[in-house]
Amino acid sequence: MPQQEENKRIPTLLDQPRNPILKSRGKSMFFGISDERTGNVLALKLVSSTGTQRAVHYHDIHSPMDFNGESEIILLTSSLKITIKGRNLEQLFDYIIQHRVLWIKEPQDSFAVPEGSEVEINTIHFEEG
Protein backbone atom coordinates (compact mmCIF):
# COMPACT_ATOMS: atom_id res chain seq x y z
CA MET A 1 0.00 0.00 0.00
CA PRO A 2 1.44 3.43 -0.93
CA GLN A 3 2.47 5.68 1.95
CA GLN A 4 -0.20 8.25 1.06
CA GLU A 5 -2.98 5.68 1.49
CA GLU A 6 -1.49 4.45 4.78
CA ASN A 7 -1.45 8.02 6.06
CA LYS A 8 -5.16 8.36 5.26
CA ARG A 9 -5.85 5.35 7.51
CA ILE A 10 -4.24 6.93 10.59
CA PRO A 11 -7.34 8.83 11.82
CA THR A 12 -9.49 5.69 11.61
CA LEU A 13 -6.87 3.66 13.48
CA LEU A 14 -6.72 6.29 16.23
CA ASP A 15 -10.50 6.29 16.59
CA GLN A 16 -10.62 2.54 17.20
CA PRO A 17 -11.14 1.41 20.80
CA ARG A 18 -7.88 0.78 22.60
CA ASN A 19 -6.82 -2.78 22.23
CA PRO A 20 -3.91 -4.17 24.31
CA ILE A 21 -2.83 -6.34 21.37
CA LEU A 22 -1.99 -3.17 19.43
CA LYS A 23 0.46 -2.17 22.16
CA SER A 24 2.29 -5.44 22.71
CA ARG A 25 3.00 -8.87 21.31
CA GLY A 26 2.42 -12.19 22.99
CA LYS A 27 -0.47 -13.94 24.65
CA SER A 28 0.39 -13.54 28.33
CA MET A 29 -2.05 -11.81 30.66
CA PHE A 30 0.92 -10.98 32.91
CA PHE A 31 3.27 -9.11 30.58
CA GLY A 32 3.53 -7.52 27.15
CA ILE A 33 6.57 -7.46 24.91
CA SER A 34 7.54 -5.20 22.07
CA ASP A 35 7.84 -6.37 18.52
CA GLU A 36 11.47 -7.19 17.68
CA ARG A 37 11.35 -4.78 14.74
CA THR A 38 10.61 -1.81 17.00
CA GLY A 39 13.79 -2.24 19.04
CA ASN A 40 14.32 -1.72 22.74
CA VAL A 41 11.66 -0.34 25.06
CA LEU A 42 12.43 2.84 27.03
CA ALA A 43 10.58 2.02 30.25
CA LEU A 44 9.00 -0.87 32.10
CA LYS A 45 5.47 -0.27 33.41
CA LEU A 46 4.49 -2.25 36.52
CA VAL A 47 0.77 -2.58 37.35
CA SER A 48 -0.48 -3.72 40.75
CA SER A 49 -3.57 -5.82 41.34
CA THR A 50 -5.38 -2.66 42.45
CA GLY A 51 -4.52 -0.86 39.21
CA THR A 52 -1.84 1.49 40.51
CA GLN A 53 1.03 1.88 38.08
CA ARG A 54 4.70 2.64 38.32
CA ALA A 55 7.22 3.01 35.49
CA VAL A 56 10.98 2.51 35.61
CA HIS A 57 13.26 3.50 32.75
CA TYR A 58 15.41 0.60 31.66
CA HIS A 59 18.52 2.80 31.81
CA ASP A 60 17.88 3.22 35.57
CA ILE A 61 17.99 -0.53 36.27
CA HIS A 62 21.40 -1.56 37.62
CA SER A 63 23.37 -4.68 36.76
CA PRO A 64 23.24 -7.40 37.74
CA MET A 65 19.58 -8.23 37.35
CA ASP A 66 18.85 -11.30 39.46
CA PHE A 67 16.72 -14.37 38.72
CA ASN A 68 16.67 -17.40 41.03
CA GLY A 69 15.89 -19.82 38.19
CA GLU A 70 12.18 -20.27 38.81
CA SER A 71 10.13 -17.90 40.92
CA GLU A 72 11.80 -14.56 41.69
CA ILE A 73 13.26 -11.69 39.67
CA ILE A 74 14.97 -8.78 41.45
CA LEU A 75 15.62 -5.46 39.71
CA LEU A 76 17.51 -2.63 41.41
CA THR A 77 17.63 1.10 40.73
CA SER A 78 19.44 3.72 42.81
CA SER A 79 16.33 4.24 44.95
CA LEU A 80 14.16 1.15 44.47
CA LYS A 81 14.23 -2.63 44.76
CA ILE A 82 11.59 -4.37 42.64
CA THR A 83 10.81 -8.01 43.42
CA ILE A 84 8.65 -9.93 40.97
CA LYS A 85 7.42 -13.31 42.25
CA GLY A 86 5.60 -16.00 40.34
CA ARG A 87 6.16 -19.22 38.40
CA ASN A 88 8.12 -20.06 35.26
CA LEU A 89 9.70 -16.60 35.05
CA GLU A 90 12.65 -17.55 32.83
CA GLN A 91 11.05 -16.31 29.61
CA LEU A 92 10.03 -13.05 31.28
CA PHE A 93 13.57 -12.56 32.64
CA ASP A 94 15.03 -13.13 29.16
CA TYR A 95 12.73 -10.45 27.72
CA ILE A 96 13.63 -8.04 30.56
CA ILE A 97 17.37 -8.35 29.92
CA GLN A 98 16.69 -7.69 26.22
CA HIS A 99 14.72 -4.51 27.19
CA ARG A 100 11.60 -5.81 25.41
CA VAL A 101 9.04 -5.96 28.24
CA LEU A 102 6.55 -3.09 28.01
CA TRP A 103 4.49 -3.93 31.09
CA ILE A 104 4.15 -6.51 33.88
CA LYS A 105 0.98 -6.83 35.88
CA GLU A 106 -0.27 -8.67 38.94
CA PRO A 107 -3.56 -10.55 38.56
CA GLN A 108 -6.58 -8.87 40.12
CA ASP A 109 -7.30 -12.05 42.02
CA SER A 110 -5.80 -15.53 42.18
CA PHE A 111 -8.88 -17.03 40.50
CA ALA A 112 -8.17 -15.02 37.33
CA VAL A 113 -5.03 -17.05 36.62
CA PRO A 114 -5.65 -19.66 33.91
CA GLU A 115 -4.46 -23.14 34.80
CA GLY A 116 -1.33 -24.26 33.00
CA SER A 117 -0.24 -20.77 31.99
CA GLU A 118 3.44 -20.69 31.09
CA VAL A 119 4.39 -17.57 33.05
CA GLU A 120 2.54 -16.58 36.18
CA ILE A 121 3.01 -13.40 38.21
CA ASN A 122 1.85 -13.54 41.83
CA THR A 123 3.22 -10.31 43.29
CA ILE A 124 5.24 -7.23 42.42
CA HIS A 125 6.82 -5.70 45.52
CA PHE A 126 8.56 -2.30 45.78
CA GLU A 127 11.06 -1.48 48.48
CA GLU A 128 12.22 2.12 48.68
CA GLY A 129 15.81 2.63 49.59
* Percent of the chain at pLDDT exceeding 90: 61
Query: Mean pLDDT throughout 47-57?
Result: 95
* 105-118: average pLDDT: 71
If one compares 36 and 33, the residue with the highest pLDDT of the two is: 33
Residue 121 β-bridge partners: 86
On average, the pLDDT of the chain sits at 83
Q: What pLDDT does 37 receive?
A: 81
- The mean per-residue pLDDT over the stretch 93-120 comes to 83
Question: Taking residues 14-36, what's their average pLDDT?
Answer: 65
